[in-house]
Every structure is written in structure tokens, then in C-alpha cells.
Amino acid sequence: MADTGVVEALLRLVEKADDGVDSVQVASRLGVDHQVVVGAVKSLQALGDVISADLCSSKHWELTEEGTEIAEQGSHEARVFSSIPLEGLVQSELMKLSFGKIGFSKAMSNKWIRVDKTHEGGPRIFRTVDSIVDQVQEKLLLLQKGSGSELEEKEKNELKKRKLLSEVTVKSYWITKGSSFSTTITKQETELTPEMMANGSWKEKKFKPYNFEAMGVAPDSGHLHPLMKVRTQFRQIFLEMGFTEMPTNNFIESSFWNFDSLFQPQQHPARDQHDTFFLSDPALAHEFPQEYLQRVKKVHSEGGFGSQGYKYDWKIEEAQKNILRTHTTAVSARMLYKLAQQKFTPVKYFSIDRVFRNETLDATHLAEFHQIEGVVADYGLTLGDLMGILHQFFTKLGLKKWVEVGNSGIFRPEMLLPMGLPEGVSVIAWGLSLERPTMIKYGINNIRELVGHKVNLQMVYDSPICRLDS
Amino acid sequence: MPTVGVNRDLLFRALGRTYTDEEFDELCFEFGLELDEITSEKELISKEQGDSKASGASDVILYKIDVPANRYDLLCLEGLVRGLQVFKNKLDAPRYTRVSPVSGQPQRLIITKETAAVRPHAVAAVLRNITFTQERYDSFIELQEKLHQNICRKRSLVAIGTHDLDTISGPFTYTAKPPGDICFKPLNQTKEYTATQLMSLYKSDSHLKHYLHIIEDKPVYPIIYDSNGIVLSMPPIINGDHTKITLKTKNVFIECTATDLTKAKIVLDMMVTMFSQYCSKPFTVEEAEVVCPDGRICTYPELAYRKERLSSEFINHKVGINESTENIAQLLTRMCLLSRATGVGDEIEVEIPPTRSDVIHACDIMEDAAIAYGFNNITRTTPRTYTVANQFPLNKLTELLRQDLAAAGFTEALNFALCSQEDIGDKLGKKISETRAVHISNPKTAEFQVARTTLLPGLLKTIAANRKMPLPLKLFEISDVVLKDDTKDVGARNSRRFCAVYYNKSPGFEVIHGLLDRAMQLLEVKSARGDGYHIQAADDSTFFPGRCAEVFVHGKSVGRLGVLHPDVINRFELTMPCSALEIDIEPFLGHTAETLLTHDVPMQEVVRHKFPTLHEPPQALVSHPASTKTIFGDMSTSVGLKALNDFLADKSYIEGFAASQADTAVFDAIPSAPSSNLCHLMRWYNHIQSFLRERPSLPLAKGQFVLPSTPPPSSNANDNDDDFDLFGSDDEEESEEAARIKEQRLAEYAAKKSKKPALIAKSSILLDVKPWDDETDMAKLEECVRSVTMDGLLWGQSKLVPVGYGIKKLQIGCVVEDDKVGTDLLEEAITAFEEYVQSVDVAAFNKI
């Protein structure tokens, strides 16, 4: 709030002036800085239509520091002239004076002085005229008195070029009475206080209006990661559909569960060094359900269970190799095998967890990502059931074009029957990555901005809640 | 999925018509393929190498088509066209035949025992009187390349060599020799090289260098000679120049050498079935003999046709459609699987041609039927699988904790599970050998050397990457680390951790400590030594000396917190003090840490399954039921079975959500396995059948579902009704007074009951009566239904319910006396009005 004294004085001045006052003049009349008056104008404006103030700007000339010095003591050249006695002055002596250098060249060009270079004892300077008129000083004095209008623009510019003069723009207000002008103003309160509430003074007070254009203060809070927010929603969808979550907290898997149990042949390219991370320590898995392993071996190498098999030499050494799992289906295989070791009951399983691929990395591919997987096992499931359940799932996601984002299918009998699942049981399954829908949802183009330490924390702070179907 | 690029115009010429891009895309989809890209050679080159290189290239439009990985018969233009033409019914699938040479003996390839050390198998065949054009030749070469990349696994399993037979003379010898002893002029070279020289020559060959490793370190290299010592090829690297095929070549000798004989046979079959099309006698292939080191003589190509028999019901059931046997046979025939209905029931005989090595199980035939039927024509259905969802307890705890840690002002980070050894070792002031880290043997960069053993490095790197953000930075992560663990089958396990860091101008130990206190509060662990949690000074090289404490919960250490060592902070390129907390959260699972939900599998099988190693006789017949009468009707009639089928359409069991003796009782009432068109009944029947062994241990039935075969005296009918004592008291020491009151009440009750007339058991039934079509007079139908009169039958309200296509069914209610009117009787009476009624179903059945 501006100084109330100034505010009141300003209002009195405005009251007296019929057609208004200029804020600069007010400042000089009140003997305060112009900014103080501007502050008073602003605070009055905030009160409503007490005054009206139009911004106007005016230009005037002002002497620079050097200009002020010249106005007092004469121009450099005049001072040079006057410091040269009739018998002349050694040039080097002159140059020692503060104004010597500039004044000398200017006086030379005005032809007030001359140099005798041949003089014994070094070059010496002599007056060439008897007297001079110091026009520069005269002009500056005129300007200082405020009578600059007598000078021509050209002359002013000349002085400006010599940095003796500068043009100053003054922004000021032209202040007139407003529609609700009054010389007495009540001070506005900024905020409601407990005291006001206690003594009821808030009833009489006027309150300063809020600026509703401004942003509020950001709350001091923590934030959840957007990918994890999307994960939560996917879990929710599966739970709504009656799916039980699989324990996928085993990143290290044997090739047996990751590939062989799924009836993936041992020469499959996915089992290449180029696609899968193998372990050097612990390099091998050491324990398998032996009876089951024998059945898996048989179905690969000889067939059976209605299958021709792949007819190749299945090696336990290949199955033992430990890897970072390349899909969560390895866990699904374990769960289905466990299911087959009990009385069969229909199940619906899901998981969302990390999987690993030793792939070439780019803007959309990382060596690890999250796989979403759904599995249904029951008697007599059909392709129509698979398509129906996928439709339901993707409808919950709010995705229309779901073909592009994932894979789905019915597990082969060569996978299920060796596990010991009953003949009539079918298992349908589908999977997709968590990252891709998240990137689409949050409009992220580079996966590194989303996952890993290069994440943009500001993005995390700013990301909205995740509603997949909206 | 391999992608096959074919010249569009050639393709259309071969297909005998043109398509728009959209039409062709649609055709591909119908056939189970995907038109991936429409491009040209020019476009491809300019995309890969820049416009300048592409200037001279061809503008001919190429279709890039994605082909399923195991459909080797679609990897070339010839196969694609053949497949599509058969699919569109424009062509019958050709019959591939192996023939003997017109004159003389078959060509012979003799394998010597030396090959056993490097590449033991070989097969061969001859294409006689073939006519090449430039396009056919290109396709011939391209198919070899595609096979090499796919089924041949980059030539490691199988390598193909094709030769101009007229430049050589058999018998041929496939042997193996030390590289120094092999010398020949390889394809497209001008001079002879020894094998050793060749290997170094091809080191810089962008194409061939990828195959050198297959034999490089072997003492002997495989090599094929003709009878004059001319080199045909040095598989799997290069052919000899002498036998090179040109456009003028008439007779082609094809050999495939392999480490996998099955695949070699498939590859040879694929080559000859695809290109025998251009022989003077199309689709005939001249045989060749291969003499094995043990003297056995095998004749190739096998070109084996295999026959499978399956039922149309199997296909209908697996796909979820209802097509006639003949239709299904036609669908399969369109997929190049020549099929016919055998006339025995719904049996179909399917012939699998040598081109379809991918068909190894009936389920592959089912898939082809589904493709031919059209996936988009299959009705989407909802599995009726009823299950109760459970969360994995550890994930449930994680989810709940994350929410509240964010509410505590910390922001969640998400870091990689893989990192460098340095991240978890040197940078934290630890020795990598002292961590229990698992190591990756084939990382492409240092970023993936180990699986993390702690979440801390990831959080510190996240801060380093976000130094521009305003302080303080407060981050947390709940995620898994991996530790070696000998007790696990794979020798390692995950451990779920909670880690948090505070990064600011002051270390803020109190902030991190406060977060620990809050976390413990959330986990309902009080601050106390012994049965709560406490922290205790500890030494740890990651932390600033004297500023580290160990967290104990119920006396066990679960993690650490403290101010990080300045060296550690600096190594992560940070400049401010930082405090951190990391604890294991699995100890907080409490009673939810069920062993049930784990990926650990039993190593010994307890349940003895019958596996079809021998041909099993069908399940022993269930003894004939004492009574076939159930509340669903008579199980010996199709009406009764249908009613049960409808009842089971949305239920898994007769009663409640688990198998009980109610199921086995009804099961026993069914005289023989139901027919497969009653799919819900079938599913339930199979399911209950699997319980037969443990049926005595199943829960007792709550209601009576099977009715005695002879109606019992009516006075007994209600005996059980009041017997349930759900809230029976266990208290045996009843006071005398209480006993007396009870006795009195019982007496009163008995008296009251005896006064009531004997109740007659009645049921309210809702019937669905379906007409034949939309033109059936429904008023007349209803009239007919209501004309059925029986003693103990009272008709109720009715309404018409639309079922689709303008057809409406009559839904009519009635009340029956159980002893006098059975649903089967009723349905029989109604279905007797044959001209109006197609079927009658029990929609609802309630005892009154």
C-alpha cells in the first residue's frame, strides 16, 4: 500500500484541478519521487473508479554527467584555450590536464589554437585567436534552464552525439477524477483475519479484490509414476473381470519354463544370444519336476498327445540355461503346471510385470518392459470365447483398435497335456506391453522419458490421473 | 514373422486378376496374412541408403507380406499364389509326386562317415526339364535365402545347394576334409582357393561372414564332390562356380546338408514342391538316393502325405461355430488340406500335404478351419468360467503402500532392473563379489551386466538426471531386486524392496527417519525393541561414518538408513548431501504370505495322471443309475438332458460354487455320456466325471435333485424341510430351565405342525416355447400350449419375448404338483404340436 500521505495529497490536487494533473508534476510539487506517485495511483486504481489515470509518455532532454560538468566549467576546448598563456604551452603539459586530449583536438578543428612542432623543447601550442565564444557551454546552459526549445534539433543531436545530452522518456499518468471520486478513502483489507472474525469488524471492512487470473500455489506433494498409475488401472480391470493375480516375482527363469514347457523348440530364434539375456552366474537351473520334464522332452523330440512333435534331439543342457525371463508366460506355465497337479478347477489368471529382451534399443524399445498377460483355463473354451473376452477387455480399456497392441491365442495341446491338464481343458491367453498404451495415453514419444533414470520428473509431477476409458 | 516381398504386377498376373491395395489387404487378412507395406525397390533403397543411391533402382511396386513363421510354403511368389488360388476355389491343390528317372538309375549322394564330426545329414532331389525365366530364377534364389534365414536358422541347421546337373556327373560324395585339403573355384570367383583361404576371404563379405562360425572351428569342413572330383559345394558356406545355375539350366540337382534331418527333409520338400511347377511335367520330382555311412539307402524327396481323422464336432467346439461336416471339409480343402467327410458319424479325413509341415496337431487343422471360416464371422462369446479374483498379496501390499508414500510427499521413480556392476559395486563403495548379484553372460552394453541388488543406484541416477528440478528432491521406489539363492530351482530369487532418498542442501536424516516411522505406522508396526521396530547404529561403506543405522523389525534386520557417504554421492555425479532408506517389505506380509501363491512348482508329482503313452480304453462305464428322474426331468430323455443343459448354461455346478454330492447325484442319474451338442452339460459332465475318485469327500448336497424312481409316499416328501440348524448352539451345558423351555416349545411346535394338512410339493416352472420361424402364429401356438391339461397342472401368465430376426418365443409360467406332473411330461405334450413348436426349454424351475 502506498504511503497514505501521498495518496491523500494526490487526491486533493486532483480535486482542485478540473482537467486533471500529470503525475510527474504532482511528484515535483509534492517533492517526492515519481515512482511514489505512480504507486499511489496504482493503489487508488485498485479501489475502483476513484480516479481515472491514462498512461502517457513524454520526452525531454537531460544533460549527462559530462554535460553538467561542461555547463558549469565550460567545454573542454574552451578550457584548453583558456589554459594556454600567450607564450604558448608545451603540448605534453597540456595533455596532462583531464580535458587536454579531447579539448585539444576540438580546439584545433575550431582553429582556436595551433601547434608549433619545430619549437625547441618539443611541440608547443599557441593561441591563434584572441578570444572565443564557448557555444557548447551556452547551449547546455540553455537546456539546463529548460529553454531547450530555442535550440534546433540538429544542435541537440550534435550534443547528443558528444554524449553531453540524452533524451529521456518519462511515462506518467494523466490523472482525472473518476466516477466515484472522493478525497476520503477507506483502506482495503487484504485478507480476513481471526481478529476481524472475533470482533466482527469484517462487516465494515472493504476487502481488496482477488486476482482470479493468477495461478494458485502448487501443493507440496508426492506423485505416483505414470506407468505405475496405468498398471494400477490394468490390475483393476483384471480384478473386475474376476482374474487372479499370478506371483511373477521371479525375473530369473530357466529356459525350461520360459521356452521348453511352452513347446518352443530349442532352435527357435527367440532363444538366440541376440534376443535373450543368459546368465553366467547362476548359469544353470538345477531342479525340475523330472516326470514332467521327461514328458516335455518326449513331446518335443518324438511327439505324442496327438502331435507329431518337432522330431529333434532335445537336450536338457539347453533347458537348464538360466535366463532373464522373456515373457511372463513362463510364470503362466508354472501356474498351469501347478494347477494340473491338483484337482482341476477353472481359473482366470493375470499378471503385469517386467520381462527382458536383449534387443537393439531405440526410441520405443528398451531391454526391459512390462508385459500384461491374461489367461483363462476351463473346459471347452472356444476361439469365439477368446475373441469375446478380448473384446470385453479392450472395451474396458476404451481401445477400439486393439489388434495392433498385443498378441493372443489358445495354448497348444503339446504344452497343456504334458502338464497333466485334463484333455477337454482349453487355455486362452493374451498379452500386450504396458509401456505402449501408457505412451499413447500420456503422449510420450521417447520411452526413456517414461521409464528409467532419465525420466523427466516434471512430467511425473504434472501427469494427470489415469482413466483408461476416457 | 518373416516378410515376403513380391512384385505386385507379377503377383496379379499369376492370380489372373488385379486388386486394389485395399482389396488385396482384405484378401491377405482373410487368408491369415498381413499386407505389411506397399513399396518399391527404389523406395526401399532411398529409405536405407539415401535418395542418391536409389536413383537407378526400379520403380516396380512391391508388396511386403507378413507370413506366419512356420508357413514355409508361403515364402515365395509361387507358394503364395498357389495358396491364394486354392483358397479362392480357383485351383485344386496340386498333387506332388516323386518319380523315378525316365531312364537309368536315380542320382546318388553318398555320405561318408567323416561328416559325422561336422554336419552329418544330407538329402537330395532332381528337378527335370525345368524352364527358368529371369523372374523364376530370382524367385528360386530368393526362396533359398528365405528358407536359410528361417527354418534353416541362418544355415546352421540346414544349408541348400542347387546345381546344374548337366555340368556334373554322379554319384556324388558328401564328405568332410581338413580345410587345407579342400581347393576349388567358389561361386562367382575367378580362381581357386583352399578352404582356409576362403574363410579369410569371406571374413569381409557382408553376407557370407555370418555363416563362417558354423564350421570355422571344426577340424574338417563338409564338402560335396561329383564322380570326377568337381566340387558342388562346401556347405553351409558356398557352392562351387562350376555347377552354377543359369537361365539356360534344364536339370537341377538340389542337395541339403544338415545337422537336423527332419528340417532338411522339410526344406527339400519345400524347394521341390514350389519349383517343380516349372518342370515339363509340373509337380513331379525326380527322386535321388542318399547312401548313409552305415549303408542304408534312403530315397528323397519324401513328399509324404499324412492322413488325420478328426470330428467336425472337435472343430466346431474349438472354434465356437456350428458347421456341417461337409462344410468343414470344404473349409479345410480351401486351406490346401484336402478333406472329406468319411460318412462315419461326423468324421473328417484330412490329408496333410508335404507343403504343410506346420500342421503337426489337430489343433493346427482347427486353426486353418477357423481362418477359412473367417475370424470375423465367429460369434464372440463370453466364457462362463466363474472365478473369484485374488490379488497377489505382495503386490497388494505394494499398491497400498505406494499410495501412502506418495501422500507422504515422496515421488515415485521407476528404474531398470538391470544395471552395471559398477552401479551396485564400486559406486556404492562395495565389492561386487560381496553382493549376491546374478551376472548376465551376454550383455550388449555395460548397462546390462547384472540384475540390481539394491534400488538405491537407480534413485541416485534419477536425481542426477533431474538436477535442474527444484530442491529438495524426495523420491521412492517399491520394486524387485534379484539375489542369488541356492534354495530356489533357478538359484536366484526376487526380493521386494522399498527405497527412498532425500536430496537437499542439508542431509535431512530426520526426514528419511520420519519416512521410516511413517512407513512403520502404515504397516502397523509400533516403535519398540523386540516386538516392534527400532534402529541401531551400523557400519556400512555406502554411508557416511556414524550416520548409518540398521532397521530391526521383530528383532530381525530388514534394511538400513542413513546419510550417504560423500564419495558415493560424488560417484553418482551429485553435489548435495543425501540421505537414504532401503528396506525389504516381504517381512511385513504377515499372514497373507501364503505359500499357495508362489511360482514355485512341486518337484514331485502327487496326482497320478493317465498319460496316453498306451492307447487307453475309454473311461470305464459308470454303473447304471438307480433313478434317472431329477428335478430337471428324466435324464433318460433328451428333453430332460436339454433342461439340465440349459440350467448349466450359466452355472458351473448344480449347487453353489463348488462341486458337491448334488453334482455326483445328478451325474449318476445320467445313463450315458451326453451328446456333444449339449455343450454346457458336456462340460459339466466331463468336469464332474473327473471327481469320481474323490466323490465321497465332496460336500453333501443341500437339496434333493434326484427323485426316486418310484414316487415315495407323499407324507415323507417334506421330512427334510425343517431340519437345517444353521446356527445350532455348541453349548452342551444347557440349564435345566432352558432344557425345559425348549422341550415345551418343541412339543408346541409338533402339535402345531400336526394340525397342518400334509403339504403337497409344488413347483413353479417357466417354459420357453420356441416356434419354427417368424411366420408361426404365436396366438395359435399359445392356444395349443394352454390346451395341454393334466391333473396337477395350472397354467399361468405368458408373454412373447423376441429372440432375434423377428422371431419371438412364448414364455409361459405354470404351477405343477411335483408328484403328478414332470417337466418331461409337460415338454413332451407341448412338443407334440409339431407344426407350431420347435422346442421347449425350462427357463426357470422353483420349488414352492
**Does residue A469 lie in a domain region?**
no
Residue B353: CATH number of its domain:
3.30.56.10
pLDDT digit string, tens, across residues B304-358: 999 999 999 999 999 999 999 999 999 999 999 999 999 989 999 999 999 999 9
Q: Is the pLDDT of residue B384 over 60?
A: yes
3-state secondary structure of A75: coil
Q: Point out the residue among A239, A347, A457 whose CB comes nearest to the CB of B391.
A: A239
Q: Is the peptide bond before B457 cis (omega within 30 degrees of 0)?
A: no
The label of the residue with cell 543405522 reads B549
A112 and A27, same structural domain?
no
Q: Point out the residue among B405, B469, B690 whose CB comes nearest to the CB of A422.
A: B690
**Does residue A70 lie in a domain region?**
yes
**Does residue B751 lie in a domain region?**
no
Domain that holds residue A257: 226-462
Residues of A in contact with B148 (CB under 8 A): none
List strand residue ranges (DSSP E) for A358-403, in order: 368-379
Q: Point out the residue among B321, B442, B602 whose CB comes nearest to the CB of A289.
A: B602
Q: Average pLDDT, stretch A367-372?
A: 94
Chain A, 389-418: which have a CB under 8 Å from a chain B CB? 389, 391-392, 410, 412-414, 417-418
A132 and A70, same structural domain?
yes
- Considering chain B, what is the average pLDDT of its residues? 87
Domain that holds residue B213: 97-300
B296 and B407, same structural domain?
no
pLDDT digit string, tens, across residues A371-397: 999 999 999 999 999 999 999 998 888
Residues of A in contact with B492 (CB under 8 A): 252, 279, 282, 322
Residues 6+ apart with CB under 8 A from A357: A275, A276, A277, A326, A365, A367, A368, A369
So what's the pLDDT on residue B483?
Answer: 96
B134 and B80, same structural domain?
no
A4 and A47, same structural domain?
yes
B558 and B427, same structural domain?
yes
**Does residue A468 lie in a domain region?**
no
Q: Is the pLDDT of residue B199 over 80?
A: yes
Give yes or no for B394 touching A (CB within 8 A): yes
* Whole-complex ipTM: 0.71
B335 and B198, same structural domain?
no
A355 and A415, same structural domain?
yes
B192 and B246, same structural domain?
yes
Q: Average pLDDT, stretch B780-803?
A: 84
A295 and A442, same structural domain?
yes
So what's the pLDDT on residue B616?
Answer: 41
So what's the pLDDT on residue B755?
Answer: 54
The conformation of residue B186, written as its DSSP 8-state character, comes to: B
Residues of A in contact with B601 (CB under 8 A): 289, 334, 337-338, 341
Residue with more model confidence, B512 or B1 = B512
- What band does B261 get if pLDDT is binned at 50, 70 and 90? very high
**Does residue B402 lie in a domain region?**
yes
Residue of B nearest to A342 (CA): B607
Residue A428: CATH number of its domain:
3.30.930.10
| Cβ(B817)–Cβ(B748) below 8 Å | no
**Does residue A470 lie in a domain region?**
no
**Does residue B728 lie in a domain region?**
no
Rounded-to-integer distance, Cα B665 and Cα B688, Å: 10
- What band does B392 get if pLDDT is binned at 50, 70 and 90? very high
| Cβ(A252)–Cβ(A297) below 8 Å | no
Interface touch B489/A285, C-beta < 8 Å: yes
Chain B, 324-383: which have a CB under 8 Å from a chain A CB? 360-363, 370, 375, 378-383
A107 and A191, same structural domain?
no
3-state secondary structure of B366: helix
So what's the pLDDT on residue B754?
Answer: 56
Q: Average pLDDT, stretch A359-375?
A: 87
Q: How many CB atoms lie within 10 A of CB B339?
A: 27
Q: Average pLDDT, stretch A340-344?
A: 90
Tell me whether strands B473-484 and A124-127 are parallel, antiparallel or unpaired.
Answer: unpaired
Q: Is the pLDDT of residue B258 over 60?
A: yes
Of A25-39, A45-59, B242-256, which range is least confident? A45-59
**Does residue B115 lie in a domain region?**
yes
B567 and B418, same structural domain?
yes
- What band does A26 get if pLDDT is binned at 50, 70 and 90? confident
Residues of A in contact with B603 (CB under 8 A): 287-290
**Does residue B481 lie in a domain region?**
yes
Residues 6+ apart with CB under 8 A from A230: A434, A437, A438, A441, A466, A468
Give the distance from residue A392's alpha carbon to the nearest chain B alpha carbon, in angstroms. Answer: 9
Residue with more model confidence, A77 or A400 = A77
Q: Average pLDDT, stretch B219-227?
A: 94
Give yes or no for A225 touching B (CB within 8 A): yes
Of A61-65, B193-197, B454-458, B813-817, which range is least confident? A61-65
Residue A50: CATH number of its domain:
3.30.1370.240
pLDDT digit string, tens, across residues A100-120: 777 888 888 888 888 887 777
A117 and A13, same structural domain?
no
Q: What is the dihedral of CA A339, A342, A347, A350, to 10 degrees?
A: -30
Chain B, 610-639: which have a CB under 8 Å from a chain A CB? 611-613
Give the distance from residue B238's alpha carbon to the nearest chain A alpha carbon, in angstroms. Answer: 23
Interface touch B394/A378, C-beta < 8 Å: no
Four-residue CA torsion sign, A236, A238, A240, A244: negative
A236 and A119, same structural domain?
no
Interface touch B389/A338, C-beta < 8 Å: no
Residues of B in contact with A252 (CB under 8 A): 438, 451, 482, 490-493
B474 burial via Cβ count (<10 Å: 0-12, 13-18, 19+): buried
B533 and B486, same structural domain?
yes
B416 and B520, same structural domain?
yes
Give the distance from residue A276's alpha carbon to the nearest chain B alpha carbon, in angstroms. Answer: 9
pLDDT digit string, tens, across residues A242-264: 999 999 999 999 999 999 999 99
So what's the pLDDT on residue B593?
Answer: 57
Residues of B in contact with A306 (CB under 8 A): 361-362
Q: Write down which residue in B88, B122, B147 finishes a domain.
A: B88
Give yes or no for B602 touching A (CB within 8 A): yes
**Does residue B606 lie in a domain region?**
no
So what's the pLDDT on residue A322?
Answer: 96
Q: Average pLDDT, stretch A302-321?
A: 93
Residues of A in contact with B448 (CB under 8 A): 277, 358, 367
A417 and A353, same structural domain?
yes
So what's the pLDDT on residue A102?
Answer: 79
Of A39-43, B75-79, B490-494, B725-729, which range is least confident? B725-729
Q: Point out the residue among A228, A240, A414 whose CB comes nearest to the CB of B414.
A: A228
Residues 6+ apart with CB under 8 A from B139: B76, B77, B78
Of A213-222, B18-27, B363-372, B547-556, which range is least confident? A213-222
Give the distance from residue A371's alpha carbon to the nearest chain B alpha carbon, in angstroms. Answer: 14
Q: Average pLDDT, stretch B785-807?
A: 82
**Does residue A118 lie in a domain region?**
yes
Give the residue among B665, B663, B683 at the shortest CA–CA distance from B673: B683
Number of residues in chain A: 470
Give yes or no for A285 touching B (CB within 8 A): yes
Residue of B nearest to A419 (CA): B609
Express as a percent the part of chain A with pLDDT over 90. 40
B311 and B291, same structural domain?
no
Interface touch A453/B465, C-beta < 8 Å: yes
CA distances from B553 to B336, B531, B547, B587, B588 (A): 68, 7, 20, 8, 9
Q: What amino acid is encoded at B370 in this protein? A: A
B558 and B423, same structural domain?
yes
Q: Write down which residue in B248, B280, B300 finishes a domain.
A: B300
Q: Point out the residue among B389, B406, B443 whose CB comes nearest to the CB of A244.
A: B389
Chain A, 147-166: which have a CB under 8 Å from a chain B CB? none
So what's the pLDDT on residue B617?
Answer: 41
Q: What are phi and psi of B796, to 5 degrees?
A: -115, -150
Residues 6+ apart with CB under 8 A from B748: none
So what's the pLDDT on residue A460?
Answer: 93
So what's the pLDDT on residue B626?
Answer: 62
A392 and A377, same structural domain?
yes
So what's the pLDDT on residue B737?
Answer: 63
Domain count along chain A: 3
Q: Write down which residue in B697, B730, B749 finishes a domain.
A: B697
Residue A83: CATH number of its domain:
1.10.10.2330
Give the residue among B245, B115, B96 at the shortest CA–CA distance from B172: B115
Q: What are the cell numbers at A336?
A: 498351469
Domain count along chain B: 6
Rounded-to-integer distance, Cα B171 and Cα B199, Å: 28
Express as a percent the part of chain B with pLDDT over 90. 62
Q: Write down which residue in A126, A146, A162 finishes a domain.
A: A162
pLDDT digit string, tens, across residues B688-703: 877 766 777 777 777 7
Rounded-to-integer distance, Cα B243 and Cα B236, Å: 16
A71 and A49, same structural domain?
no
A322 and A283, same structural domain?
yes
